[in-house]
Amino acid sequence: MNRDRDLDPGYLQAELQAIATIAHTLAKESQGNCLALLALLRTLEGLHREIREGFFLGSLPDNRQTLYALLKDIEEEGGWPYIDRLKLREILVKFPDTTETSSYQDTENEKQVEG
């Protein structure tokens, strides 16, 4: 690799934008296809883990000056990268509350009111 090109923030930004555009295009083309979107999210999560464990950890600073620069960048540019996962509860919000448990409780409440 060309070391000068790797250090050029403009080149890096352009390459990152290209990756983001591809991911966004795939997501837009898969809109409404839950399984395709899930596959995309899994791929992005796997890529995140691979970069973090395979490349990032090995490139962490080994002196105070570079550690300070890294921490300053993290603070100024939006914190630590994190991939949030949906909770099952968030998925179930789309479904009406028709569980057997709620029906049973409603019946029991009606019996108590009548009795």
pLDDT at 103: 52
For residue 90, the model assigns a pLDDT of 81
Query: What's the pLDDT at 1?
Result: 45
Residue with tokens 């099952």: 88
The full DSSP string for 61-101 is -SSHHHHHHHHHHHHHTTSS-------HHHHHTTS-S--HH
Interval 98-105 mean pLDDT: 53
pTM, two decimals, is 0.68
- Is the pLDDT reported for residue 81 higher than 90? no
Distance between CA atoms of residues 42 and 10, nearest Å: 29
Mean pLDDT for the stretch of residues 20-38: 97
Single-letter code of the amino acid located at 12: L
| Mean pLDDT score, 1-23 | 81
Q: What is the mean pLDDT of residues 27-31?
A: 98
pLDDT over threshold 70, residue 72 = yes
Q: Where are the domains of the chain?
A: 1-31, 32-114
102 band by pLDDT with thresholds 50, 70 and 90: low
Phi, psi of 18 (to 5 degrees): -65, -40
For residue 112, pLDDT over 70 is answered with: no
Alpha carbon distance 29, 44 (integer Å): 16
Confidence of residue 36 (pLDDT cuts 50, 70, 90): very high
> Are 110 and 103 in contact, with CB atoms under 8 Å apart?
no
The CB density around residue 30, as the number of other CB atoms within 10 Å, is 15
Are 40 and 27 spatial neighbours (Cβ–Cβ below 8 Å)? yes
Distance, in Å, from the CA atom of 3 to the CA atom of 87, rounded to the nearest integer, reads 42
